Homo-oligomer: A and B are copies of this chain.
Amino acid sequence: MAGPKGSKYYDVFLKFKVWLENTDKESILGNGKFELLDFIDQFGSLKAAADKMEISYRKAWGMLKDAEEKLGLSLVEKQRGGQHGGNSALTDDGKILIEAYKELLIEFDEAIYQITKKFFNKVNQK
């Protein structure tokens, strides 16, 4: 959202981001990693999720490893080998996490609407 047409801040947008952080102030997981988890859940493998996101498998694997290490939780159950190479599926913790995150985003969006509106009213005042 921005200001009304022709106003000073017309082509300026207020954006926000939410993420999980550990005590060392390192990011544990944000939007990208949540999306990755969601795609793993939908498509059944890390490879398929990486393809959907148009990122390399190497990168996706690193993202997941990083998140799990920093959380100290297993988010994805991985299976290697087999005719089809293997597969991945969310653990219960992983499932609960993405579900909670989705709800969080919805609530965030709602809360932010009014706040943003007020902000632009204020800065666009003559």
| A residues lining the B interface (CB < 8 Å) | 8, 11-23, 28, 71, 73, 93, 96-97, 99-101, 103-104, 107-108, 111-112, 115, 118-119, 122-123, 125
> Hey, which chain B residues are within 8 Å of A22, CB to CB?
11-13
How far, in Å, is A78 (CB) from chain B's closest CB? 20
How far, in Å, is A9 (CB) from chain B's closest CB? 8
> Hey, which chain B residues are within 8 Å of A115, CB to CB?
104, 107-108, 111
> Hey, which chain B residues are within 8 Å of A71, CB to CB?
12
Could you list some 6 contacts between A and B, CB below 8 A?
A11-B23, A12-B20, A13-B21, A13-B23, A15-B21, A101-B119
